[in-house]
Structure 1
Amino acid sequence: MAAKLLLWTIRVLALLMVMVSILPMIPSGQWWVRIWEFPRLQLTWALILPLVLLVVHGLWKRWRIEHAVWMALILAVGGWQLSHILPFTSLWSTEVPTAEVPPGEAQATLKVLSANVDYTNDRYDEVLSMVRREDPDLLLLIEVDHAWAEALTSLDQHYPSRIGEVRSEGLGMVLWSRFPFQEQEVKHLVSERRPSVFVTLDAPGTGPVRYVGTHPVPPGLRDRVASNDETDERRDSRVRDAELILVARRVQQDADNRWIVTGDFNDVAWSDGTRLFADLSDLKDPRRGRRLLSSYHAERPLWRYPIDHLFVSDGFHLVDLERVRVPGSDHFAVTATLAMAQKDRAKPKASAEEQQKAEEMVEEGAEDAAEHGVSSTPSG
């Protein structure tokens, strides 16, 4: 009886792992489908349990063909999950080259820090101390509400340039810069509630650098439908995906310039949406070939995912990449020091299929925003 119960436990666990591994392959924006793109690392570790139980059962009741079938299935699922994770380890080649500065030579660098401070967090002075200690040239803070804006006014003395939008409920965003802005704009790409900042920096010794800070809506977020205030439903991923695609299009249209895009994407580094964003924009992820740098949830080590991102165009090499604790926040900050390098003139080369998929994502995102009464005029 115990052996039979153990075998059925193995069967159920293995089938559950197969099911949640297959779900993200379904072309759906439903949050309960897309959410399974997040815990690939956790699911890989979880596969150890049915694998160990299978070995125990095989030794106990003699190895049979069924054991070999389940073993092959578990290993195949583990390999599938690892194929998404391994590019973010030192086993893979890097996308952004490491900066090599000859001894005694100065090189123009740019330090960027992006952090979701969490609008429910009230440890203002500690966060200010963290910012001053890191001393970035570009500082993007997300979820800046009116209390945070008031607490951060001293930053205006250290950074001559500032742009953003202060909003409640975790929707605000402010960018501070040590360098002057040649161009600056707050855009509402899909949802009128969610700002993104677009600026062109006049970086000394470098020329113009284009920068985008963004914070798309997370899938699974509870939200009221404007047409029915009594209805509380979870958002799917369509608005998030559309917003990222519209940022990618902006980069794609001006590929000759240097670009930096940072923010809380509410999407993991290995997802289809993030990879499509990278393919369309031809931006590079400095984590690839180095480390995962999971940023959320800061207080739950077993449930952390890489959802705070920093992408750069060619024309940048990496000096340093770190994860920094933000006092009181559920996110870590991501900080990178970038060195200027030769910029080539290659254009992004997304396939026709990827372009079509991007078009569909934008249309679906606009529809979802309209359904929730928060639509903005999408622009590429």
Structure 2
Amino acid sequence: MTALERHMFLKLLLWVIRLLTLLLIVVSILPEMPSGQWWVRLWEFPRLQLTLALAVPLLLLALHIWLKRPRKEHAVLLVLILAIGGWQLLHILPFTPVWSNEVPTADAQTLEDQSTFKVLTANVSYSNDSYSEVVALVQREDPDLLLLIEVNNEWDEGLAPLTEHYEYRVGEVRGEGLGIVLWSRFPLLEQEVKHLVSERRPSIFATLDIPGIGPIRYVGTHPVPPGLEDRITHNDETSERRDSRVRDAELMLIARHVQRDPDNRWIVTGDFNDVAWSDTTRLFADLSDLKDPRHGRRLLSTYHAERPFWRYPIDHLFVSDGFHLIDLDRVRLKGSDHFAITTTLTAARKDQANPEASEEEHQTAQELVEEGTEDASEHDVSD
């Protein structure tokens, strides 16, 4: 390599490092914008992937430093890359063992005298036809509460054997990935299917009577994902991708339901189509005062099951205080692009404290509800 070629190579390499660093800075801070646009909100999802992607400019920078004497710009680029990594890790680390638990671990010595129950939550994917395999998985896992999402007529027929194992059922069977059904071994003192923002998106509200524990309020939900191509269009020639506003509004309305009844124990579970560290999910947790069992334990990424590198924690289970965790795991669901989540819980003392969300958080939630309702109305999905 001639001196000129070496000079041109080093110059090109430096520009590549600059552009990659700038790109990673932009996509890292983009989700901080107060926008519901899908192409903004989607950058909340790949924080782990973006952290790993920082290895590319970091290695290229090391190469450039090795080939050319260190200079001030090298230090600046290194600081920027490390700052981006620190910012991303700040969102991820709470879902690792280095952080403290939000839901305490149950004391093994006292479990013999306590009632326990198991919850399984799974998005079965409506285009999937592995009905018997899913039934076999449910029988093997043997949950007391089973929430299945994207249940259409074919799935409803395929899941018929479950009626032998579960006496109680509530939900709505719909096509296009919109169905949601809860099976329960526990009596349902109250049950209702609500359409919080969109008539096309049902959520399940129930009160369960669990022996040895008492009544527990339960919500199962599946808000619309941002970026989903809208099937409801104003004419046959146009379509557009959905923003996050309807999803955000649904989560805020559920948080309000919980907030209005803090004396009861609550479980909220489902495919939120939102990652655990997003501003919306954190606001949902603050308003409702619900806790995430993954906090301080593991990410438990559930989607996409077939693409390990592009996998995010979007299937959730939140609980109020008054529960301790026995076990938390994910299970592969044949034919689905989601893993199932299994959670085993036991009751603990309830502190009866009211949620302590700030006035600013309440205002933000109200704005999200108003924007989501307006967005649903504009796209002809609110009635």
| TM-score strictly above 0.5 | yes
Post-superposition CA distance 1:150-182 (Å, at most 9, x none):
011111111010000000010000000000100
Please say if 1:348 is aligned against 2:380.
no
Contact 1:224–1:372 (8 Å) recurs in 2: no
Mark the CA change 1:304 to 1:104 in structure 2 (over 3 Å): closer, same or farther: closer
SS at the partner of 1:110?
A: strand
Contact 1:224–1:230 (8 Å) recurs in 2: no
The aligned counterpart of 2:370 is 363
What is the Cα deviation at residue 104 of structure 1? 8.0
Post-superposition CA distance 1:42-62 (Å, at most 9, x none):
000000110111011012111
Contact 2:233–2:239 (8 Å) recurs in 1: no
Please say if 1:34 is aligned against 2:38.
no
Please say if 1:299 is aligned against 2:312.
no
- Paired-residue identity, %: 73
Aligned equivalents of 2:80, 2:111: Cα separation in 1: 56
**Runs of 4+ in structure 1 displaced over 4 angstroms?**
none
Post-superposition CA distance 1:263-298 (Å, at most 9, x none):
000000000000000000000000000000000000
Of residues 354, 358, 379, the one that matches 1:372 is 379
Q: Matches of residues 261-280 of structure 1 in structure 2 within 5 Å?
A: 261-280=268-287
- Alignment RMSD (CA, Å): 0.9
SS at the partner of 1:72?
A: helix
Aligned equivalents of 1:279, 1:342: Cα separation in 2: 20
What is the Cα deviation at residue 224 of structure 1? 3.7
Aligned equivalents of 1:311, 1:103: Cα separation in 2: 23
What is the Cα deviation at residue 239 of structure 1? 0.2
Please say if 1:117 is aligned against 2:124.
yes
The aligned counterpart of 1:338 is 345
What is the Cα deviation at residue 227 of structure 1? 3.0
Post-superposition CA distance 1:165-208 (Å, at most 9, x none):
00001000000000010000000000100100000000001110
Please say if 1:144 is aligned against 2:151.
yes
Mark the CA change 1:225 to 1:317 in structure 2 (over 3 Å): closer, same or farther: same
The aligned counterpart of 1:213 is 220
Kindly provide the amino acid, as one letter, of the partner of residue 359 in structure 1: Q
SS at the partner of 2:309?
A: helix
The worse-fitting range, judged by mean Cα deviation, of 213-222 and 151-160 is: 151-160
Aligned equivalents of 1:223, 1:4: Cα separation in 2: 45
Aligned equivalents of 2:144, 2:84: Cα separation in 1: 43
Kindly provide the amino acid, as one letter, of the partner of residue 301 in structure 1: P
Aligned residues: 376
Kindly provide the amino acid, as one letter, of the partner of residue 274 in structure 1: T
Kindly provide the amino acid, as one letter, of the partner of residue 340 in structure 2: A
The aligned counterpart of 1:308 is 315
Aligned equivalents of 2:111, 2:64: Cα separation in 1: 64
User: Structure 2 stretches of 5 or more lacking a match?
Assistant: 1-7
Aligned equivalents of 1:325, 1:275: Cα separation in 2: 27
SS at the partner of 1:373?
A: coil
Q: Matches of residues 14-93 of structure 1 in structure 2 within 5 Å?
A: 14-93=21-100
Of residues 85, 92, 109, the one that matches 1:102 is 109
The aligned counterpart of 2:325 is 318
Please say if 1:204 is aligned against 2:199.
no
Kindly provide the amino acid, as one letter, of the partner of residue 331 in structure 1: H
SS at the partner of 2:108?
A: coil
What is the Cα deviation at residue 103 of structure 1? 6.3
- TM-score by length of structure 2 reads 0.97
SS at the partner of 1:162?
A: strand
What is the Cα deviation at residue 22 of structure 1? 1.1
The aligned counterpart of 2:4 is none
- TM-score by length of structure 1 reads 0.98
Aligned equivalents of 2:301, 2:214: Cα separation in 1: 32
Aligned equivalents of 1:165, 1:105: Cα separation in 2: 37
